[in-house]
Amino acid sequence: MSNQRVLIALTAVNIAVLTFSLARPGPAGAQGVVPVLRGRALELVDARGRLRASITVLPADPAVRMPDGSTGYPETVLLRLISSNGRPMVKIEGSEQGGGMYLAGESDPTGVQILTKGGSTSLKLSNKDGQEQVIKP
């Protein structure tokens, strides 16, 4: 008989907890907007799970050799917007040395590259035939 009393008491407690949970005002989810989202990287994927956009902080690498012949790469923040077939179509980067932006065309190497590094700037235009024009002040 004592087991039956314990089960009745537990049932009454469960009903009380359920009633309190249902009667509580306000949404059960998030209570507000988080003012800041912090992390080392951010990736956005489409409905199929394919990467479509990313913001990444790339570490400095003093040993890397750059296309212009210089050595070293500073810590850089890189934003990429990626097409449905996986090709980066927009790249925007920023570092202590300057910033850059690349807008890709339909086929490689079609694109526009805008660079600032140190005290110099350049604009490079490329078409699908591989023809390039570099504009410097």
At 30-54, the pLDDT tens digits run: 567 878 888 889 999 999 999 999 9
Q: For residue 26, what pLDDT is reported?
A: 59
Kindly state whether residue 17 falls inside one of the protein's structural domains: no
3-state SS assignment for residue 41: strand
- Per the prediction, the chain carries an average pLDDT of 88
Which amino acid is located at 55 in the chain?
Answer: I
Query: Cβ–Cβ contacts within 10 Å for residue 123, how many?
Result: 13
Kindly state whether residue 12 falls inside one of the protein's structural domains: no
Residue 63, domain extent: 39-135
Please state whether the peptide bond connecting residue 109 to the residue before it is cis, i.e. omega within 30 degrees of 0.
Answer: yes
Query: Cβ–Cβ contacts within 10 Å for residue 70, how many?
Result: 11
- Give the range among 24-38, 55-69, 91-105 with minimum mean pLDDT: 24-38
**Vertex 43 angle, CA 96 and 41, to 5°:** 40
Residues 78 and 16: their CA atoms lie apart, in Å, by 53
Kindly state whether residue 102 falls inside one of the protein's structural domains: yes
Split into its structural domains, the chain has a count of: 1
Kindly state whether residue 49 falls inside one of the protein's structural domains: yes
The answer to whether the CB of 42 falls within 8 A of the CB of 54 is: yes
Kindly state whether residue 28 falls inside one of the protein's structural domains: no
Q: For residue 108, what pLDDT is reported?
A: 83
Q: Give bridge partners of residue 103 from the DSSP assignment.
A: 90, 112
Kindly state whether residue 103 falls inside one of the protein's structural domains: yes
Kindly state whether residue 29 falls inside one of the protein's structural domains: no
Kindly state whether residue 5 falls inside one of the protein's structural domains: no
